[in-house]
Chains A and B, each alone.
Chain A
């Protein structure tokens, strides 16, 4: 296990490379999902308000 983590002495280069890739790709996924959910929530509220206004009109 320790030998694996050491990556033949290159650990200080290999693991940051993988970590950075994971950060960017997972980060993009999370941001995209959160923006989508937030916008869907706003749209839902707007459409509900519209329906409410139509009912009252």
Chain B
């Protein structure tokens, strides 16, 4: 009966369990990664280059903030990526915990340092923007505090992932942290609505549409796209790196055994 139920699957799909597990087989992922990596690199460079050019040379200064508004073209896309990458980590953590898909662990492990980097960029660029505009480098308002917590969640995830001799245990612990910490993402997003904050309210993703002029929205979205392709590029490289590391581990264990 099993054979007839699985009749629509190919032999390799039947062997690997289902078409969902197509990329559980690392050599398939490696082939895909090798094809996509150069594209991601080119697209990242192109979009970031265009975003920087338009943001620095074409877009106008702000009538209130002057040229300091150009910090927005790294600060906002970095903050968006900080949230997006954490969502990817949390999603792959769920897949890892529920379905034990091995690639999910690798995606989470590869993504966390990139997310931490984007969060650091958002925090530092925000600080540099806040000092001339608000008169302070830091304030414990809802948005800034919750993004700082996001940064610590990333660091905790990285620490747990690497804390155990058995990589599976580290991945499990880190996955639980990622899922539990996900509540922070909507908190960050809605913090400027729920609390009286120094950080300004939403001006792009809000009911009623953006309040930013299109001349500034264009470089903003170009940078966001560029940062996304950059993340995908790093994901390809870092997951491939993790697969190689696991192969090394396996080879070493095999060679150690008589």
Contacting residue for B78 out of A4, A10, A21, CB 8 A: A21
Count of A interface residues, CB-CB < 8 Å: 29
Inter-chain contact B121/A33, CB cutoff 8 Å: no
Measured CA separation A20–B121 after assembly (Å)? 7
Q: Are A43 and B230 in contact (CB under 8 A)?
A: no
Encoded as 1 (CB less than 8 Å from any B CB) or 0, chain A from 3 to 44 comes to 010011110011011101100110011001101100110110
Check B74–A8 contact: CB distance below 8 A.
Answer: no
- Whether the pair B241, A39 counts as a contact (CB closer than 8 A) is yes
The residue that A13 contacts in the complex, of B78, B114, B132, with Cβ under 8 A, is: B132
Q: Decide: A21 and B237 in contact? CB cutoff 8 A.
A: no
B117 touches A17 (CB 8 A): no
Report if A17-B75 is in contact (Cβ < 8 Å); known contacts: A10-B132, A39-B244.
yes
Of the candidates A25, A33, A39, the one having the most CB atoms from chain B within 10 angstroms of its own CB is: A25
Expressed in whole angstroms, the minimum distance between the Cβ of B234 and any Cβ of chain A is 6
Q: Check A39/B245 contact, CB under 8 A, given A10-B132, A13-B71.
A: yes
Interface residues of chain B: helix, strand, loop or mixed (majority)? helix
A15 to B185, CA, bound (A): 29
Is B109's beta carbon under 8 Å from chain A? Answer: no
Is B251 interfacial (CB 8 A cutoff)? yes
- Interface residues, chain B, CB within 8 Å of chain A? 56-57, 61, 66-68, 70-71, 74-75, 78, 113-114, 117, 120-121, 124-125, 128-129, 131-132, 230, 233-234, 237-238, 240-241, 244-245, 247-248, 251-252, 254-255
What would 16 more interface pairs be, CB under 8 Å, given A9-B67, A35-B241, A50-B254?
Answer: A8-B61, A8-B67, A10-B132, A13-B131, A17-B129, A20-B125, A21-B74, A21-B78, A21-B121, A24-B117, A24-B120, A36-B241, A36-B244, A39-B241, A39-B248, A40-B244
Offer 27 A-B interface pairs, CB within 8 angstroms, sorted by A: A4-B56, A7-B70, A8-B61, A8-B67, A9-B66, A13-B68, A13-B131, A13-B132, A14-B70, A17-B74, A17-B75, A17-B128, A20-B125, A21-B74, A21-B78, A25-B117, A25-B230, A28-B117, A29-B230, A29-B234, A29-B237, A32-B241, A39-B244, A46-B252, A46-B255, A50-B254, A53-B255
